[in-house]
Amino acid sequence: TEPSDLKDEL
């Protein structure tokens, strides 16, 4: 998955 749509928030 591209870094943009990585869900980095909890």
Partner 1 sequence: MNIFRFAGDMTHLISILVLLLKIYATKSCSGISLKTQELYALVFLTRYLDLFTDFISVYNTIMKLVFIASSLAVVCCMRMHRVVRRSYDKDLDTFRHYFLILASFVLALLVNEKFTFQEIFWAFSIYLEALAILPQLVLLQRSGNVDNLTGQYVFFLGAYRAFYILNWIYRYFTEQHFSRWIACVSGLVQTVLYADFFYYYFISWKNNAKMQLPA
| C-alpha distance across the termini of the chain, in Å | 18
Spatial distance between the Cα atoms of 7 and 3, rounded to a whole number of angstroms: 9
The answer to the question of residue 2 lying near partner 1 (CB under 8 A) is: no
Shortest distance in whole angstroms from residue 10 CB to partner 1: 5
Identity at 1, one-letter amino acid code: T
The answer to the question of residue 6 lying near partner 1 (CB under 8 A) is: yes
Shortest distance in whole angstroms from residue 5 CB to partner 1: 7
The answer to the question of residue 9 lying near partner 1 (CB under 8 A) is: yes
Binding site for partner 1 (CB under 8 A): 1, 4-10
